[in-house]
Structure 1
Amino acid sequence: MAVVETAKRFLASFDRPARILVAVSGGSDSKGLLLALKEAIEATKPTEFSLAACTVDHALRPESAEEARGVASFCESLGVPHLTTRWDGPKPGTGIQAAARAARYALLAGAAQRFEASSIVTGHTLDDQRETILMRARRREGPGAAGMAAATLYDRRIWVFRPFLAVERSAIRAFLEARNVGWFDDPSNANPRFERVRARASLASSPATGGGVWDARSRARSSAVAAALLARHVRVHAGLVAQIPPAMADQGRDIDWQRALLTLATVLGGRAHLPAAGTVERLVNALEQGTPGRLTAGRVVFDRRSTGLYLYREARGIEDLTLQAGQTAVWDGRFLIRNDGDGPLMVTVEGGRGPQQQRLIAAGLPPGVAGRASLSAPRIVRDDVKSVAPVTIEPRIGLYDTFLPGFDRIMADRIAGLFGRQPYLPPPVHGLLTEMEW
């Protein structure tokens, strides 16, 4: 059957031996994925792979606990070890699906660590992909807006794979029905208050609404080109300022360079997403004029001078952060800071005329750029002025540090290098650029 053959192709790409954690909600997609992987392993490499399963109980419906117990029984019948994890605590009144997604991946990563799994797999299908593409098209996201990646690095520590991303849900359900396996239907999947449900209804009534076919290989090629442009034309100083030569300052109509430039701005601004299409158009129009001056977009100043284009965080809206001994937290979305001392500290802005400004000037930046950029540089303040306990400050790449799509890994590694970071964790599969060929 095509479903099992897809699972076999996925496993053939894996480094072995491996234990794989399957996220199983009780719906048809995830139960079909678990069963197909089990059959594929038994038919090909029974000694090289093992499976574990995890169900995340979001505790949003009274039935969820019973459904999780049903999944546990199903896994037991297959001889697959299973763990239920629960999303405890108060739930937000708005943005519940985004919050549930964040909680789900954090809980799955913890379960993978407990099972000593090398990766996580989820049951997303071609139907989910079409819905995602439609939703992002409707939001008019900026350049490079894409569908879901078949491989995503979560939290810089574990890869999440979607082996069924090119398989239709109807095929998975036919596979389960042929084996007399039932599934749960989450009622939230029919609630029109959620964007994905509305997109699903649009596609059902008019399949052409979904637009063109999403090609991960094209996105990977674009990322590779953008990474090469970054390598040739960009320098980043102290994680604070990106320096771009005059010849590249007005090339924003080139889509690959546009992606490179906006990725830089997103990281410097401490954001997790590229600017929306309207912001991008305003920025590109301004840069095309070629006149000196400053423009702010996405919390980042685009400072155009005769010596080039300089990008840095605007000096407003930056809140202080207090860290207790041994605590780690993100400051302003831009820096991951760990307090290695035995007392509290506060992270605030340098405010100018400090050591960071002098370092930027020494690096060859115009004094005006160095002065403005240093206004948003981090400064550590301790109650005990005599304390010399170390503080670890690492640039954070909000665009990729939580979810890094596999097709953007070349770009992400280039950005990491520009900001003085090590490359991201490589995936435990062969040929990331051909990830859709599983």
Structure 2
Amino acid sequence: MPDAVLDTARNFLQSFIKPCRILVAVSGGSDSMGLLVALHSALAADERPGFSLAACTVDHALRPQSAREAEDVAAFCAALGIAHRTSRWVGAKPSTGIQAAARNKRYELLAEAAEALGADCIATGHTRDDQQETVAMRGARRKDDGRHDLEGEGQGGGGMAAAMLYGRRIWVLRPFLALGRAQIRSLLEARGVAWIDDPSNTNPAFERVRVRARIALSGGVPVPSWDGRQRAASSARAATLIEQRIRVHEALVAEISARDAGAMDDRDWRRALLAVASVLGGREHMPARATVQRLSQFLRSGEPGRMTAGRVVFDRRASGLYLYREARNLPVLAVGPGGQGLWDGRFTVKSGGPALTVAADASGGLWTQRLIDAGLPAGIAKRASAVAPGIAPTGAAGLAYGEAAAKVEYHIALYDTFLPGFDRIMADAVAVSFGRDRYPAPPVHDVLTEMEM
């Protein structure tokens, strides 16, 4: 079993397009310690020039022992000659949803550490055991809250991706997803390397611990609704459909022909349409199952009318289907001098100097004319203009886009924080539609075997 772990580490290094510096996320647990040891051993044995390792331990400061554990990891890294950084979660912790909050903070701190240590990517020690638990948890959530439709075509339709882009800036790689935890511990035992057992891993207050116990008791292996290659193939076709059938105007309106609007029996088309709709609504997730079913029924009918779903109006007319943000609950955003803020989950606004106020464009005249010039019906243009951002120096009379020095970019909430590698092609199509650059490509050759279990 130790040989299998080392072989996996060697294959991982060989998958890189070019040599780079890898930041290993090391908590001190067996999985991350095994990843660090295996990569260090593979580099020492193969003498691959250009590669180097760094390590980061995120101290969530949730247990009294965590600071000492981080010190132990730092000492272990020093003995191997690996640069190490401890990043501590400072500040108040939420009273609920602590594991989700800790996960978000962990990736934020890891990305900062990667930049500080000059790393090109991050590697984590997630294993096949973690993958099985994730599949089981996401499957249970789909049944409980309908977050994703019957075929699991939302963000969580399966397990973790072997590659994930965080924050549009750094790729997180999970090379051990095909390995079991027992295999990794065998390597550590053979090397005489100790690890830390986090007591939270046995605390039944946490969902993952309860799921782990159920899997062990049943002896069954959770199976994802579709594997990584199926997901990537679907995303590639959805990307083509976005490019061919959806026109996005001024990042405010999506236009679809009347012929294509009702093709909701096509899974890939449904994914394409829902992705664009979610982005127009500034949402991090696709609509829930019940909403998708109601929307599908409305679109299949072919009847003119309007339906609102996920903060987006689906406006069906004889000339086609038009999607735009509903004119409700639009916020007012204050941006400090030289600062930056996110308005309505859709537009990132960065001040070029003075303090700014961002709100729905009260006049809408400029936007309306642009949309009419693009060939949209006047009624659609007027409705969509009402949800455009208006930007002005704070305290100025009226708000009109372009009156203040500001850089404005569309924020794609669906993908800008966490982008699974198997959805990158579709995410690129969405980004281009909204006037954005494509997402950075991963540093490895093949990221399509993510969910092979």
Query: TM-score under structure 1 normalisation?
Result: 0.96
1:277 shift after superposition: 1.9
8 Å contact from structure 1 (residues 133, 210) kept in 2: yes
Q: How big is the shift at 1:17?
A: 2.6
Alignment of 1:229-240 (within 5 A): 229-240=241-252
Contact kept, 8 Å, 1:352 with 1:372, in 2: the verdict is no
Aligned residue among 197, 201, 210 for 2:209: 197
Any residues of structure 2 matched to 1:5-404 within 5 Å, and which? 5-140=7-142, 141-142=148-149, 143-144=152-153, 145-208=157-220, 210-212=222-224, 214-341=226-353, 343-351=354-362, 353-383=364-394, 385=396, 390-404=405-419
Question: After TM superposition, what 4+ stretches of structure 1 lie above 6 angstroms from structure 2?
Answer: none
For 2:141, the aligned partner's letter is R
Aligned-pair CA distance for 1:389: 5.0
Give distance in 2, aligned partners of 1:250 and 1:194.
Answer: 42
Cα root mean square deviation, aligned: 1.8
String of CA shifts for 1:151-183, please: whole Å, max 9, x gaps. 011111111100001111111111111111111
Q: CA separation in 2, counterparts of 1:322 and 1:45?
A: 53
Cα shift at 1:220: 0.5
Q: Percent identity?
A: 58
Q: Deviations over 1:289-342 (max 9, x none)?
A: 22111111111111111111111111111110000111011111101110112x
Q: CA 1:316–1:233 in structure 2 vs 1: closer, same or farther (change >3 Å)?
A: same
Unaligned runs of 5+ in 2: 143-147
Alignment partners' CA distance in 1, 2:294 and 2:139: 19
Q: Unpaired runs of 5+ in structure 1? A: none
Aligned length: 437
Letter matched to residue 431 of structure 1: D
Q: Deviations over 1:202-242 (max 9, x none)?
A: 21112436235752111110000000011110100111111
Task: Compute the displacement of 1:360 (Å).
Answer: 1.1
TM-score (normalizing by structure 2): 0.93
Between the aligned partners of 1:369 and 1:119, the Cα distance in structure 2 is 44
Deviation at 1:74? 1.3
Which amino acid is the alignment partner of residue 303 of structure 1? Answer: D
| AA at the equivalent of 1:124 | H
Cα gap change, 1:118 to 1:45, in 2 (>3 Å): same
Q: Please tell me whether the aligned partners of residues 119 and 158 of structure 1 are also in contact (alpha carbons under 8 angstroms).
A: yes
Contact 1:220 1:408 survives alignment (8 Å): yes
2:41 maps to a residue whose letter is E
Match for 2:443 among 428, 431, 436? 428
Partner of 1:152: helix, strand, or coil?
strand
Partner amino acid, structure 2, of 1:211: V
3-state DSSP of counterpart to 2:220: helix
Query: What is the Cα deviation at residue 344 of structure 1?
Result: 1.1
What is the Cα deviation at residue 382 of structure 1?
1.8
* Amino acid in structure 1 at the alignment position of 2:327: A
1:359 Cα offset (Å): 1.2
Question: Does the CA-based 8 Å contact 1:250-1:290 persist in structure 2?
Answer: yes
Asked if the contact 1:202–1:209 (Cα under 8 Å) also holds between the matched residues in 2, the reply is no
